[in-house]
């Protein structure tokens, strides 16, 4: 679902003024969080636009704190040593980066272990870090908030799988609803008696209990957690999927069934090498795929989306005031990129207003993509001219942007490619184009060529650079150019306008106004 847009009617239109200009929002510009999980310990430092922050620093150590917990009742001794060492390092890094502190949470393994409290005390003595041990329902809430960071206003069921637990939370209209927790983490499933048959019976029984608590949940299923992402990598390889971006990767129930068969029929080590998955993570995939298959069979979601955002992003979301939460993460991220990297920050808004008549009948969903492209139209100017078009495409399709489907990444990427290049054939990225249908490719070309022409008038942050008028039934494009801009309408500008006209298959008229 498209993120909810701020209904502000300010000069910035429906997108409102950029939040990173607000001093209050800038207080969130650099935030460090640590997630002490059953399988890994990870630190993320967020930096950048307050609503859609960049990953300034991201480091993970596979510790397997929860390995053997079901049998011993204690944290894995070697994992405990590794986790403590990782936390010492993270605290040292945070101090070196000038962070005021780290927010540290621990989940299933630490909360269930008999020595969990002792471990927290040891960490505080050794590092000064206070670990907040959260229960399963709170873990589910924070994971769901992480999803809302990237998909504000979404509806669906968030499923977060860790090493020792699996949580479910419903989200609707930007709010977190019912939440449940279970012991369906792969580290615990390894200890279930009865082999795979016994494990599947156990999974089915637990998930049926979860369904009775959660009720019908047939909207989108959001998958959060490293084991789900590993399965998505396998699914990508099985399908020959061209774009290796996990966030917003979509699967169907049939994909899950086919990938389960594929994993069963393929050597695990061969899969691990082919997909670039660590040994520790890959060892959990056979357990996690059985959980996912039963989960999909039970809840029957309309579609499945992989989320790279989870509990750590949920901790950041927790610190945001409501007015920030409602903002569009895509637009905020693009505005921040423009402010940081464009030659003339602010012209993106002028360019958006200039090209908009070509798309006046389009949906708000499409207009936000057009807005994003206009904001990004000049952020890659430092790249070599021979490669600038491809650099733009690569940045758009691989950047850390929230609230953006893969087909929408291709749309923005192609528009920016055409901002610098007339033809899209002959690039290194042609294999990705088919993620967008032919109509979308043509619309991206028109947008890119409109931006390519409009950029010829880029001499001021704001002001009147002229008006386009598009009459699609008559196939007629007209340009009204103020006399103060007439000198800018030189040979190259005229050539670029002609290219736009040809893409529209239109007739052209130009009028110079006083």
Mean pLDDT across the stretch 160-180? 94
Q: Torsion over CA of 313, 319, 321 and 325, rounded to 10 degrees?
A: 0
Mean pLDDT across the stretch 58-65? 94
> CATH number of the domain at 137-313, please?
3.30.420.150
Question: What is the model's pLDDT at position 55?
Answer: 85
Rounded CA separation 90/305 (Å): 31
Q: What are the structural domain ranges in the chain?
A: 17-133, 137-313, 329-513
Question: What is the model's pLDDT at position 14?
Answer: 39
Residue 9 has pLDDT above 60, yes or no: no
Residue 320 has pLDDT above 70, yes or no: yes
Residue 30 has pLDDT above 80, yes or no: no
Q: What percent of the chain has pLDDT over 90?
A: 77
Mean pLDDT (the chain) is 90
Question: What is the model's pLDDT at position 16?
Answer: 47
More confident residue, 476 or 319: 476
Mean pLDDT across the stretch 39-46? 93
Question: What is the model's pLDDT at position 202?
Answer: 97
pLDDT tens-digit profile of 392-427? 999 999 988 878 999 999 999 999 999 999 999 999
Question: What is the model's pLDDT at position 401?
Answer: 81
Rounded CA separation 135/105 (Å): 10
Residue 26 has pLDDT above 60, yes or no: no
pLDDT-derived band at 25 (thresholds 50, 70, 90) equals low
Question: What is the model's pLDDT at position 319?
Answer: 80
Strands 304-307 and 220-224: parallel
Half-sphere exposure of 364 (CA within 13 A, CB side): 12
DSSP assignments along 169-215, one per residue: EEEETTEEEEEEEES--HHHHTT-SSHHHHHHHHHHHHHHHHHHHH-
pLDDT tens-digit profile of 195-226? 999 999 999 999 999 999 999 888 999 999 99
Domain 329-513 has CATH 1.20.1740.10: no
The sheet carrying 102-106 orders its strands as 54-62, 40-47, 30-36, 102-106, 131-133
Question: What is the model's pLDDT at position 402?
Answer: 79
Give pTM, 2 decimals.
0.88
Domains 17-133 and 137-313 share a fold: yes
Mean pLDDT across the stretch 270-287? 93
Question: What is the model's pLDDT at position 28?
Answer: 54
17-133, CATH topology level: Nucleotidyltransferase; domain 5 (3.30.420)
Question: What is the model's pLDDT at position 462?
Answer: 58
């Amino acid at each position: 679902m498209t993120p909810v847009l701020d209904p502000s009617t300010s000069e910035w239109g429906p997108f409102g003024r950029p939040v990173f200009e607000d001093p209050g929002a800038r207080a969130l510009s650099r935030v460090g969080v640590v997630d002490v999980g059953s399988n890994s310990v990870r630190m993320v430092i967020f930096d950048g636009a307050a609503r859609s922050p960049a990953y300034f620093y991201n480091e993970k150590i596979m510790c397997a704190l929860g390995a053997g917990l079901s049998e011993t009742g204690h944290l894995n001794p070697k994992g405990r040593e590794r986790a403590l060492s990782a936390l010492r390092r993270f605290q040292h890094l945070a101090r070196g980066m000038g962070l005021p502190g780290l927010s540290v949470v621990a989940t299933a393994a630490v909360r269930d272990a008999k020595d969990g409290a002792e471990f927290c005390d040891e960490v505080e003595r050794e590092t000064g870090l206070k670990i907040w041990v959260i229960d399963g329902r709170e873990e589910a809430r924070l994971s769901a908030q992480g999803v809302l960071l990237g998909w504000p206003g979404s509806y669906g069921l968030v499923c977060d799988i860790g090493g020792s637990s699996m949580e479910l939370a419903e989200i609707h209209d930007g709010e977190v609803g019912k939440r449940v927790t279970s012991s369906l983490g792969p580290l615990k499933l390894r200890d279930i008696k009865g082999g795979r048959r016994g494990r599947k019976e156990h999974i089915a029984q637990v998930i049926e209990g979860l369904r009775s608590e959660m009720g019908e949940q047939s909207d989108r299923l959001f998958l959060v957690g490293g084991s789900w992402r590993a399965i998505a990598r396998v699914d990508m390889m099985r399908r020959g999927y061209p774009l290796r971006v996990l966030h917003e990767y979509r699967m169907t129930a049939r994909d899950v069934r086919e990938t389960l068969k594929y994993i069963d029929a393929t050597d695990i080590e061969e899969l691990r090498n082919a997909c670039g998955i660590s040994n520790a993570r890959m060892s959990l995939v056979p357990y996690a795929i059985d959980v996912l298959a039963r989960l999909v069979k039970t809840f029957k979601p309309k579609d499945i989306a992989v989320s790279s955002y989870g509990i750590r992003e949920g901790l950041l979301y927790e610190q945001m005031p409501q007015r920030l939460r409602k903002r569009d993460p895509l637009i905020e991220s693009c505005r921040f990129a423009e402010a940081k990297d464009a030659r003339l920050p602010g012209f993106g808004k002028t360019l958006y207003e200039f090209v908009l008549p070509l798309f006046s009948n389009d949906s708000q969903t499409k207009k936000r993509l057009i807005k994003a492209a206009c904001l990004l139209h000049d952020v890659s100017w430092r790249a070599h001219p021979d490669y600038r078009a491809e650099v733009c495409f690569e940045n758009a399709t691989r950047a850390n942007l929230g609230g953006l489907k893969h087909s929408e990444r291709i749309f923005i990427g192609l528009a920016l490619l055409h901002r610098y290049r007339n033809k899209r054939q002959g690039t290194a990225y042609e294999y990705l184009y088919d993620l967008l249908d032919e109509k979308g490719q043509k619309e991206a070309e028109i947008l890119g060529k409109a931006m390519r022409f409009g950029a010829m008038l880029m001499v001021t942050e704001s002001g009147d650079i002229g008006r386009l008028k598009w009459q699609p039934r008559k196939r007629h494009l007209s340009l009204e150019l103020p006399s103060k801009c007439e000198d800018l309408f030189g040979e190259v500008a005229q050539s670029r306008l002609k290219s736009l006209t040809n893409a529209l298959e239109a007739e052209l008229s130009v009028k110079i106004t006083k």
